Structure 1
Amino acid sequence: MTHKRYADKIVEWIREIVKDAGAEGVVVGMSGGIDSAVTSVLCKKAVQNTLGLILPIYSREEDKKDAISVAEQFKIDYKVIDLSSIFDELCRSIGERISESDLRGNMASSNLKPRLRMITLYYFANKNNYLVAGTSNKSELAIGYFTKYGDSGADFEPLGDFYKTEVYDLARNLEIPRKIIDKAPSAGLWSGQTDEEEVGISYKELDGILYGLEHKERFTDTKKVEYVKELVKRSEHKRRALPTFKKL
């Protein structure tokens, strides 16, 4: 199936998800990255009432501008809400005295960012009877590269069955700006952070291994394969349904 056909099928699927929920639209967080750009454009094609929320928390000005450029190019209604002061106040309230430079590797504090964004997305979703669109791809979901109850907090995942490398193909088909396609993927958890540096493997390598594991292929570089297997195993708790004690 061509990527144009996949895009058309996703649009139809989103439309059905919204209709079945009795919702009146979709809200999606727009970070200025490729995943949120593709997701927001697909949502807009599916549902006229699509709201993009640009929620910087000490984010790069360039990322905010990129998110705005996508919203304006594809005529997506958007709001820019800076959550930096709320992040600061929350850190102070829980006893964290940190600056942006202290966040590198500090996952407990860094993960407050996507969780604050999730709260904001759901405020607007509840207010407008909208659904929240997730922006995670299959690669991230497989290795747990997302924040539990943060960017994973969503009502549906349009890209959840597409590897990161496939998202690039979708982006080109949708005519997402080249600047966004070419920029290094980043979760924006701290200044200078990039996905591939943090994960320790390129998306091209990761996707090749994940695809091979899914289709039971043989590998020559077993060291990297074992590393990816360990990432998948360690993050299993993020993907499974919430364990619930059962009465006898």
Structure 2
Amino acid sequence: MSEAEALAQVQDRLIERARADEAVFAAAFTGSLGTGDADRWSDVDVALGVDHPPESVAAAWTEWLATEFGILHHWDLPAPDARVIRVYLLANGVEVDVSFLPSAEYGARGPSWRSLFGPDPVREPFPAPRPYLLVGLAWHHVRHVRVCLERGRLWQAEHWLGALRTQVISLACLRLGLPTEYAKGAHLLPEEFTQALEPTLPRSLAAPEISRALSALVTVLVGELEHSAPETAAKLAPALSHWADFQGTRIPPPQR
């Protein structure tokens, strides 16, 4: 069975199960299935409105999915209130994300929603990330790349460098009205921006190479802040440039 066939089979069986489940009063596809942008690599994202305790409904669905398709692993995404968001990796390789939502939580909160049956309320959209939080995470990550370089912790430095790049991409996406989560809008960013990001990828774990990538990324970050928050850019630029100016390891790595 091809990926596309497996995906279609899972979708069909999920809808059949939802319609037959007396605990489910409504269902909708979300994510790429909700917008019509799904391809053969897409997850199956479905929201279920439930009028039984979400935990008990999730347990019953987990048992059914294990019998119907086989489950390699599943886990719950931390969620507020009474909702349960359970992520499954099925034995056929399809990822299924099911949100079990009580009536007060069920409904569209954005364009990634396609009602399948039942009531179709519209809820308050989830808030966009706050710019000051993204800016704060960015300077935090710049500083921590430098600290890790000073301590000779190169793997940790690379970790913070990647996290910093994520925040820079999110800031640009937020400014341009693009999706910010999980770099979903990154491929829609202007070419001049993404070209400037390419040198921020380290070519090795050598400290000078991570330092070079950090310097390039700080340049992109400051440029982005000059677009979206020029006063903040003026305040932060000297500190960011200082942290990016790494001349060599001052604290040797621990001896084994």
| TM bucket normalised to smaller | under 0.3
TM-score (norm 1): 0.21
TM-score (norm 2): 0.20
- Report which structure shows greater RCO (CA 8 Å, sep ≥6): 1
Larger Rg: 2
